[in-house]
């Protein structure tokens, strides 16, 4: 019996911009709006976390669903 392998993909269903946060939420089984909220809060509060650059890199690296 073959097991289904979970793969990180940008979401086609839970997307607002590129589907990165939606894809992370689907991969981990979390609520997409909470992942987006956490990402925005961490990006704003942390000067060492360049949120926009990380999002753009993830957009380019993570394949589309």
Q: What is the pTM of this model?
A: 0.81
Domain assignment of residue 41, yes or no: yes
Confidence (pLDDT) at 50: 83
What is the domain extent for residue 47? 20-61
Contacts with 16 (C-beta within 8 Å, 6 or more apart), sequence order: 22, 36
Domain assignment of residue 35, yes or no: yes
Domain assignment of residue 46, yes or no: yes
Domain assignment of residue 7, yes or no: no
Tell me the pLDDT tens digit for each residue of 1-49: 567 888 999 998 888 889 999 999 999 999 999 999 999 998 888 876 6
Domain assignment of residue 8, yes or no: no
Domain assignment of residue 2, yes or no: no
Confidence (pLDDT) at 2: 65
Q: How many domains does the chain have?
A: 1
Task: Give the E-state strand segments of 1-65 in sequence order.
Answer: none
Domain assignment of residue 14, yes or no: no
């Amino acid at each position: 019996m073959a097991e289904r392998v979970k793969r990180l993909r940008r979401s086609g269903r839970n997307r607002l911009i590129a589907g990165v946060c939606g894809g992370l939420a689907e991969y981990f089984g979390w609520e997409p709006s909470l992942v987006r909220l956490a990402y925005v809060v961490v990006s704003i509060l942390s000067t060492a976390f360049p949120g926009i650059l990380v999002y753009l890199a993830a957009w380019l690296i993570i394949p589309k669903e």
